[in-house]
Each structure stands twice: as C-alpha cells, then as structure tokens.
Amino acid sequence: MAAPGVTGGSPGAGAPAQGAPYAVELRGITKRFPGVVANRNIELRVRRGEVHAIVGENGAGKSTLMKTLYGMHRPDEGTILLDGREVTFRSPADAIDAGIGMVHQHFMLADNFTVLENIVLGSEPTRGGRLDLAEGRRRIREISERYALDLDPDELVEHLGVGDRQRVEIAKVLYRGATTLILDEPTAVLVPQEVDELFGNLAELKREGLTVIFISHKLDEVRKVADSITVIRRGTTVGEVDPKTTTARQLAEMMVGSELPSPETRTSTVRDTVVLELRGVTVSTPGGRPAVDHVDLTVREGEVVGIAGVEGNGQAELVDAVMGLRPLAAGSVLVGDQDITAWSTRARREAGFGFIPEDRHRQGMLLEGTLWENRILGHQTRPPAAKGWFIDRTAARADTERIMKDYDVRAPGPDTLALALSGGNQQKLIVGREMESKPRLLVAAHPTRGVDVGAQAAIWELLKDARAEGMAILLISADLDELIGLSDTLHVMLRGRLVGTLDPASCTPEQLGGHMTGAHGTAGAA
C-alpha cells in the first residue's frame, strides 16, 4: 500500500534533522470508546512553524485524535510531547495553558455578542477586579493586525459571514496565547475565495512561527497549503507524506484505496413535468430586510437545479421557505399545479419532500437520540417507522441496520447515540434516510459536507441515479465542482436574489466564483 512519497509509517523517534524537538509529538496514542477503537497506536510528529495536515476517511479518528491533543479526553495509551517534554492534560484549560488552541468544526460563537465579547468570553481581561474591555479591544486589534485577520472588535457576530466567523474563532484561540492551532475541517463551510483568504491567514501564522494542524477532506487544498501530511486510516497512521511529491490521487488511494471521484453528470434526464415552482417568493428577516427577494424557480422531474452563492446570501432562508419552516412575506410555492404555500412542513414531508439540511446538528439530528430514532426523524408518520398511531420500534431498528449497511454508516448498531458518530457518518445516515424514503423532490443543502472522498463519490452516484429515475433535486452547495458537475440548471444567488443563470456544461469554477461575489455583474440569461 506504500504510495510514493511516504517517508515511512513510523519514522525513528526523537527529533527532526535540525535537532530541535518536535512542537507536537504524539506517540502510540490509543483511544477506545465502548464498542469502537477510535485511535490505535497513532504516531504524529509536527515541526514548529509548519502547517501539518491530517487526512483520512470518515470515522478514521481524526477528530478524536485532535480532541485528545486538546485535552477533551485522555488517551487510553500513549504519550503527548510538546517541544520534547511529556505532558498530561486533564482538560482543555490545561491544553490552552500549554499553548494549544482548537477551532472546532462547528462554530461556537454567541450570535448576539460582539466580536470583542465573543473573544474575551472565558478569559476576560480585568483591572482591579473589573472587566477591562478597552484592554481586550487593544489586544484584539493587535492580533488582528499582526496576523492580517481584519476584525472589527465591535461588530455583532450575527452580522458576519462564515469566513469572518472563522477568523473570530482563530482570533479567540490566539487571544488565549496559543502557539499551536488545531483547525478541524475549517474549509468545509467556505467558498473558494474564503478558502484562499484562510490560507493567506495560515501563511501569516506560519511566518510568525506558529504551528498549525488542520483536518480536511479536500485533498487538492491540503496539498496546496500543507508542509507535510499525515494519513490516517481506520484509526491508525498509514504514514507521513510530502505534499510536493504526492498527487491527490495517491493520497486518496492511501486513505480509502479508491479513485478520486468526479461529479460529472451523464446525459440529461430532465422531463417536462414540473415538480416544484416558486413564484416571487420573498422571505423577510426580523429586521424587515428581505433575506429572499422575489425568487422565481422551477424544478422538473429528473432535474437537478443548483443554487450557487456565498453562504449567507439567502440560501438557508430559501430552503426553509421550500420546506415550510418559514412564512413567506410574498409569493407562492407550487407542487405540480397545486398551491402549497400554506402547507405545514409535515404535509410537505408526506407529499414527498426529502430534506438534507445544511446544518445537520441543528436541523437534521437528535444528537442525544439513538440512530434508529434518527432514522425515523422526519419520517415518523410513515412505515417503517409508524404503525398507525404507534412507533414500530422493531421495524425501525431493522431498517436502520439496513441503511447503515447500504450507506456505510460506521457505528456499533442502531441503539448507538447519534453523538457518538463521526461527522461524516452522521451525514451518511441523513442522506440514507432521505434517499430511502424515495422523495419526489429532494432539497439537498450541502449533501456531502464533511464526508470523505469515497463517500462523496457514492453520494454523487446516488443523486445521479435518483435523478435518472425522475427525482427532482434542489441542490445548494459550497462545493463548486459538485454544483457544476451535478446540476442541469445553475442559478447564482446574491443578497437574496437570483442574479444569474449559468450553463453548468460550459462554466468553470473560477467563473462561477466570480458571479457568486458579484464581480461579474449579472451576466447570463436570468
């Protein structure tokens, strides 16, 4: 399995060539959860001042390893060395004291607080026992300047886009004096322009001598930004590779042993029957500003309609409007020629709407629930979940096991709690349950967010097959390759409006990116 560029599964212990000890060294880390070994004998060596990437398929144990390093739980075996000294962390507070900071995959900012308040929360600057916000503001400005983070301390977080929020998270970690930053899937929610900005920030951090460890499923990206890459498979280290001499294809093979997927669609399967039609749909925010502004849209049987846009331009509100989760300020929603504007979410679900939400933790899962409960979530009024007024637990469990097998959800069983699953496996369960209900219309927001390349290919394949069988799909995604590759029709959304329609057959990700930020004006036939 040794791919070119592998420097050996277990390089000799000790220091790198220059003689200085590693900034972070994990030796023989093993971490068990009931029924699973999440990490087995993992070796990780990170030099000071480098950007070190960790790649591996869903459930490989990446997040678990990083949580160990961040003191969120203790390893069952193995040691952690920082600058050559062995350390034991009892809590993240210990890790922070040792200069380790972590930005989690799911943001943890309070929306109604300012940037300043969010950053100082938990380590408030005081003078004479009183909160000293001026000092906090000064330090944030300093950090922002030094690492080119471009933050305004007094801006409310709810007004910020995802890219900005992420920089706030990074600033929060730097504010606490971190010299080693862990970023868990930082790019999953970003569009390409924002990814470039983030990588600019990382380069800045590196120049200042900080160490960055980051997890990603986007292999091209990893090769572009990382100085070295550690590959993990099924809980154990496969080896460390040099990004300069390794191709994305070789990386993918090391991870999963499968080829890099491409979302290229085959021939068009668009039929005439209209499934979903939006007429002048307008959704207003509490402030009165329209989040979705007079959107007209048609999705036909066998058609994938893609919506491209920088996150926060109304896509989430549009999806909510289609699913009946938000009232319309104006306009109507039609299925066939029936006006369903006033229908409840349940009525829409029962009429054959499938839904893969953008934020799986908020709208897609009961984290404290079991997998079978999550299997029936959203389908609790139909078989196999329901038998009349009752829940059919036996059938639900059996069907959950089937979905776990068919969709490669790696977990001990249907009674496992959803929060014990890795992010990608949670996503696979959601995709599985929605696809298995054979919807007429699938509203898919970021369907492959957080899944590894192998699973991504599988989900793309599923969507294509379903489309060929006549399923109508409304696709929202931040992954431009996915949008271009899957869509039959591609709309660009900017500030709540559909500002352009592109031909997915002829446009490149670069062009699409330009339209999304408004740089290209409103070209194309709207």
Partner 1 sequence: MNALRRLGPALLAPVLAVVVALVISSAVMAALAVNPFDVFSVMLNFGDSPSQQVTAMVVIVNRAIPLFLAGLAVAIAFRMGLFNIGVEGQYRLATIVAAAVGAAVSLPAPLHIGLIIVVAMVVAAFWAGIVAVLKVTRGVSEVISSIMLNFIALGTASYLLTGPFRGSPEGASIIATADIPPSGQMPGLNGIFDVFGLANPPRQLYGFLLVAAVVGILIAVLLNRTRFGFDLKASGMSPSAASASGVNARSMVIKTMLLSGAVAGLIGLPDLLGNTHSYTTDFTAGLGFLGIAVALLGRNKPLGIALAALLFAFLDRSLVPLQIADYPSSVVTIVQGTIVLAVVVANEIARRVARRSAAGGSAAPAGGPTAGDGSTGVVPTPPPGSTDQRQGAQA
CB 252 within 8 A of CB 216: no
Q: Which residues bind ligand ATP (CB under 6 A)?
A: 33, 36, 38, 56, 58-64, 410-411, 420-425, 450, 452
Residues 6+ apart with CB under 8 A from 477: 306, 308, 445, 446, 447, 448, 483
Q: Which is nearer to ligand ATP, 422 or 448 (CB)?
A: 422
Find the helix or strand (DSSP H, E) in which 46 lies. strand 36-46
Q: Which does 386 bind (CB under 5 to 8 A by kind): ligand ATP, partner 1, Mg ion, none?
A: partner 1
Q: Which is nearer to ligand ATP, 63 or 400 (CB)?
A: 63
**Euclidean distance between CA atoms 330 and 499, whole angstroms:** 19
β-strands 51-55, 228-233 pairing: parallel
Encoding tokens for residue 267? 């021939």
Q: Which does 410 bind (CB under 5 to 8 A by kind): Mg ion, ligand ATP, partner 1, none?
A: ligand ATP
Find the helix or strand (DSSP H, E) in which 386 lies. strand 386-387
**Euclidean distance between CA atoms 58 and 422, whole angstroms:** 7
Q: In what order do the strands lie in the sheet with 77-82?
A: 36-46, 24-33, 77-82, 85-87
Q: Which is nearer to Mg ion, 423 or 496 (CB)?
A: 423
Please give the DSSP secondary-structure letter assigned to residue 2.
P
Q: Which is nearer to ligand ATP, 240 or 293 (CB)?
A: 240
Q: Which of 63, 114, 166, 315 binds Mg ion (CB under 5 A)?
A: 63
273 binds partner 1 (CB under 8 A): no
| HSE toward the beta carbon, residue 38, CA cutoff 13 A | 23
- DSSP for 387-409 reads ETTEE-HHHHHHHHHHHHHHTT-
Minimum distance between the CB of residue 199 and ligand ATP, rounded to whole angstroms? Answer: 20
Minimum distance between the CB of residue 355 and ligand ATP, rounded to whole angstroms? Answer: 21
Minimum distance between the CB of residue 315 and partner 1, rounded to whole angstroms? Answer: 10
The size of the interface with Mg ion (CB under 5 A), counted in residues, is: 2
The size of the interface with partner 1 (CB under 8 A), counted in residues, is: 71
CB 3 within 8 A of CB 219: no
329 binds partner 1 (CB under 8 A): no
Site string for partner 1, 122-161 (x = CB under 8 A): x----------------------------------xxxx-
323 binds partner 1 (CB under 8 A): yes
Q: Which does 92 bind (CB under 5 to 8 A by kind): partner 1, Mg ion, ligand ATP, none?
A: partner 1
Q: Which of 37, 87, 330, 377 binds partner 1 (CB under 8 A)?
A: 377
Q: Which does 390 bind (CB under 5 to 8 A by kind): Mg ion, ligand ATP, partner 1, none?
A: partner 1
109 binds partner 1 (CB under 8 A): yes
Residues 6+ apart with CB under 8 A from 369: 377, 417, 418
Residue 78, number of CB atoms within 10 A of its CB: 17
Please provide residue 455's backbone torsions phi and psi, each rounded to the nearest 5 degrees. -65, -35
373 binds partner 1 (CB under 8 A): yes
187 binds Mg ion (CB under 5 A): no
Please provide residue 351's backbone torsions phi and psi, each rounded to the nearest 5 degrees. -80, 5
185 binds partner 1 (CB under 8 A): no
Q: Which is nearer to partner 1, 269 or 427 (CB)?
A: 427
* Residues near Mg ion, by CB under 5 A: 63, 423
